[in-house]
């Protein structure tokens, strides 16, 4: 089978980086890379995400992505904006700037809006409705700017929250980040969106990407480390960047 080369990057915060996973191969990036390999791609993965990053920190990661001529970027950000009470409009504006730079470089983008932070175990029950409302407001702002910049929106927050709210094993020992099982669940939810974006880039004559339900879409043919960056070579072998 002839494989299609695909430079894939994960940008954003600790969820994109893989904090809480038992090993590097259990993190989100390697899981998505492995699935894309199974779907016929020769994947070169770069994990440029930085634990603790907020949306304004995407700018440095985007510069790295542009220098690597990334084909497809998956941006996972928003949890730390919520935790640090960054105004939603400010976080969304920073995301918009990052998306504009990626799209100008010819990179296709899948945006994963902020998680529903009300499912985090240490959030007091009385505050969960407030936290959920704040999460949904940021999700809407992020989805709007993503669609405005031609990015696909992976609207998986509700499905992921439903699982994390009832299955404690999906959280790691710190009760904040996902466990290896949690990352497996998130990757499974994201996979249809990421594969759809990869297929749309590979087959531009087929028209706009056929997005899974609740997802936005966008495509622009063409091509397009920070602290803690991880890269892999072809077939998703994980290498720690110097």
Give 144-160 pLDDT, tens digit per residue: 999 999 999 999 988 88
User: For the chain, what's the residue count?
Assistant: 242
Percent of the chain residues past pLDDT 70, beyond the cut: 84
pLDDT at 167: 84
DSSP character at residue 154: -
pLDDT for residue 121: 87
- Averaged over 176-192, what is the pLDDT? 91
**What's the CATH code of the domain at 154?**
3.40.50.1110
DSSP-assigned letters across all residues of 164-191: HTT-GGGB-TTSSSB-HHHHHHHHHHHH
Residue 220, domain extent: 4-240
Enter the pTM of the model. 0.83
Residue (of 71, 8, 68) closest to 34 by Cα position: 8
> pLDDT digits over 24-75, tens only?
889 999 999 999 999 999 999 999 999 999 999 999 999 999 999 999 999 9
Task: Please tell me the total count of domains within the chain.
Answer: 1
- The count of other CB atoms within 10 Å of the CB of residue 188 is 15
Residue 220: band (very low, low, confident or very high) from pLDDT cuts 50, 70, 90 = very low
Higher pLDDT, 227 or 15: 15
> What is the number of other CB atoms lying within 10 angstroms of the CB of residue 38?
10
Beta bridge partners of 16: none
The widest CA-to-CA distance across the chain, in whole angstroms, is: 55
162: pLDDT confidence band, cut at 50, 70 and 90?
confident
Question: With bands split at pLDDT 50, 70 and 90, how would you rate the model's confidence at 105?
Answer: very high
- B/e letters for 64-75, b = 16+ CB within 10 Å, e = fewer, are bbbebebbbbbb
CA dihedral 200, 215, 167, 117 (to 10 degrees): 120
């Amino acid at each position: 089978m002839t494989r299609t080369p695909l430079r894939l990057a994960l940008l954003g915060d600790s969820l994109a980086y893989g904090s809480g996973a038992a090993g590097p191969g259990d993190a989100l990036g390697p899981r998505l890379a492995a699935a894309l390999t199974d779907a016929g791609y020769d994947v070169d993965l770069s994990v440029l995400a930085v634990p603790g990053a907020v949306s304004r920190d995407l700018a440095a990661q985007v510069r790295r992505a542009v220098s690597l001529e990334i084909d497809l970027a998956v941006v996972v950000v928003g949890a730390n904006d919520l935790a640090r009470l960054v105004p939603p409009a400010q976080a969304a504006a920073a995301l918009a700037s990052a998306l504009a730079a990626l799209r100008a470089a010819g990179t296709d983008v899948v945006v994963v809006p902020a998680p529903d932070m009300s499912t985090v175990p240490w959030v007091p029950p009385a505050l969960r409705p407030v936290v959920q409302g704040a999460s949904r407001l940021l999700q809407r702002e992020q989805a709007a700017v993503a669609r405005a910049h031609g990015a696909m929106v992976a609207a998986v927050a509700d499905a992921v929250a439903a699982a994390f709210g009832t299955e404690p094993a999906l959280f790691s020992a710190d009760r904040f980040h996902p466990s290896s099982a949690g990352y497996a669940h998130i990757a499974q939810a994201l996979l249809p969106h990421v594969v759809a974006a990869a297929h749309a880039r590979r087959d531009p004559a087929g028209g706009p990407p056929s997005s899974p339900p609740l997802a936005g879409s966008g495509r622009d043919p063409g091509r397009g480390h920070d602290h803690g960056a991880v890269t892999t070579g072809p077939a998703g072998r994980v290498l720690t960047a110097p």
